[in-house]
Amino acid sequence: MTKAKTTYTEQNVSEFIDSYVDTEQKKIDSLALLDLFSKWSGFEPKMWGPTIIGFGIYHYKYASGHEGSAPILGFSPRKDKFSLYVFSETEKSRKALETLGKYKMGKACIYIKKLADINLEVLELLCRESIVYLKENHTYE
């Protein structure tokens, strides 16, 4: 079995943001996301791999036998855009995307330029819906 590329690390979240995030606005948005995701998930931020900030842990196992752990919610302040790891494939989440604001959808995440481009109430709904989905379909660690 292959080892997951993105795993929990002991890297300090604040030090990561200070050293990695290159604009003042992105730092402000990163700190806001830290507060919001902590509040919505009930978990403290932890680093996953070199650039993902995750909240909580769940265990997944696919029909293929591949399994591993991942953060319940997460984000990464990439150079060009934020990657938000908050989406679950539910009808409620798909409908919420209609009013999220300015974003692009990736295979497993939502990409935004800045928090001002999206509706934070809709982001909260997406995060809470993702938490419910993961609780119902996976095991929390």
Tens digits of residue pLDDT in 31-69: 999 999 999 999 999 999 999 999 999 998 888 888 889
Query: What gap in Å lies between CA 122 and CA 84, rounded to an integer?
Result: 13
2 pLDDT band, cuts 50/70/90, is very low
Task: Kindly give, in sequence order, each residue whose CB lies less than 8 Å from that of residue 87, ignoring residues fewer than 6 positions away.
Answer: 93, 97, 105, 108, 109, 110, 126, 130
pLDDT in tens, 122-134: 999 999 999 999 9
What is the predicted pLDDT for the residue at 4?
Answer: 56
Task: Kindly give, in sequence order, each residue whose CB lies less than 8 Å from that of residue 63, ignoring residues fewer than 6 positions away.
Answer: none
Question: Whole-model pTM?
Answer: 0.91
Question: Is the separation of the CB atoms in 104 and 134 below 8 Å?
Answer: no
What is the predicted pLDDT for the residue at 126?
Answer: 97
pLDDT in tens, 85-116: 998 889 999 999 999 999 999 988 999 999 99
Question: Is the separation of the CB atoms in 43 and 56 below 8 Å?
Answer: yes
71 pLDDT band, cuts 50/70/90, is very high
